[in-house]
Amino acid sequence: MSIGLIFSGQGAQAVGMGASLYENSAAAKARFDEANEILGWSLTELCFDGPEEKLTETRVCQPALYVHGCAAVEALKEQGKLPQISAAAGLSLGELTAHAIAGTYDFATGLQLVAERGRLMQEACDATEGAMASLIGGSVDAARELAKKHDVDLGNLNCPGQTVISGPKEGIAAAVADAKAAGFKMAVPLKVAGAYHSRLMQPAREAFQQFIEGFNFKTPDMPVLTNTTGDTISEPNGIKAALVSQITSPVLWESCFRSMMAMGVQSFYECGPGNTLAGLAKRIDKEVPVITKGEWENL
């Protein structure tokens, strides 16, 4: 059976994430310990013990999700439970995890990229008054029109009937108030630190573009989908450009998932905390199995 690996983004984190892998898998423990050394602070302490508000900070959350995803894959390999993988993808931050697993860069390089991405996006959040909201029901065209009306951006196209808008706090509040009249069942403000995947992240995008140029990328060992188009990119400079663009572009997760299915992927492993992507998958195609592989009991 053709297997695809998928990795979640911010919002999936939870205190305790990865602790069971650390305690039971030498390979996973090595990844977490290496991360502590590279970062210069205890990622394991914040992942395993919190507090939640600290783990939720962008500069912490992004490395936490990246390391957890990589550790889960290492634990699967160690147990001989990772079959041949046909493709990989990740939602937002998860796309960088997918590239580490695909060999575009090594674990340490990926962690440096993720840590700087998180730091820069944290700065952008702190410098702006941004917000996000999930729109339930309605079409993508209706979401686009609502965003345009209130001068905000489309942040995520996650699955049928679920889009996310992102932008200035006042504009998001106005769009939420107007959502039912625009044909949506409901609009739910998200508990996030800022307006990810919107124009308010432009300073982070520009700084990350300069930072990423100093790293060598390789052609990935397997197809990796990009959030910016929902298609694969294999040329190293093209991958860099996509990761930069992704910071302010909408996350086309439904397109990524459908592209993997079109490539023949029949089953998915969600490597990381929780089952956020499994939930989205049920809305895209309820017949496609997504198996959670985030903690020791899942292995």
Same domain, 37 and 55: yes
pTM for this one?
A: 0.96
Same domain, 228 and 184: no
Q: Structurally, how many domains does the chain consist of?
A: 2
- CA–CA separation, 124 and 61 (whole Å): 15
Distances (CA, A) of 230 to 31, 114, 224, 239: 29, 21, 10, 13
Same domain, 76 and 140: no
Same domain, 185 and 209: no
197 has catalytic annotation: yes
Question: Long-range contacts of range 287-295, CB-CB < 8 Å, 24 or more positions apart?
Answer: 288/261, 290/6, 291/267, 293/72, 293/76, 293/269, 294/17, 294/18, 294/68, 294/72, 294/270, 295/18, 295/20, 295/21
CA dihedral 143, 209, 203, 111 (to 10 degrees): 90
Q: Among 8, 92, 166, 259, which one carries the catalytic annotation?
A: 92
The residue with tokens 């990935």 is 220
pLDDT at residue 64, as a whole number: 98
Domain that holds residue 46: 3-126+198-298
Same domain, 122 and 133: no
Consecutive 10-residue runs of the chain (299 residues): their mean pLDDT? 93 96 98 98 98 95 98 97 95 98 98 98 96 96 98 97 97 98 96 93 98 97 98 97 98 98 97 95 96 94
Same domain, 176 and 230: no
pLDDT at residue 191, as a whole number: 84
Same domain, 31 and 162: no
Same domain, 104 and 222: yes
The residues, any chain, with a CB within 8 Å of residue 50's CB and separated by 6 or more, are 15
Same domain, 171 and 135: yes
pLDDT at residue 70, as a whole number: 98
Q: Among 68, 99, 150, 197, which one carries the catalytic annotation?
A: 197
Tell me the three-class secondary structure of 112-133, residue by residue.
HHHHHHHHHHHHHHHHCCEEEE
Task: Please tell me the total number of residues recorded for the chain in this structure.
Answer: 299
- CA–CA separation, 208 and 117 (whole Å): 6
92 has catalytic annotation: yes
Same domain, 30 and 116: yes
Backbone angles phi, psi at 124, to 5 degrees: -65, -40
Give residue 249's identity as a one-letter amino acid code: S
At 14, which CATH number? Answer: 3.40.366.10
Same domain, 112 and 9: yes
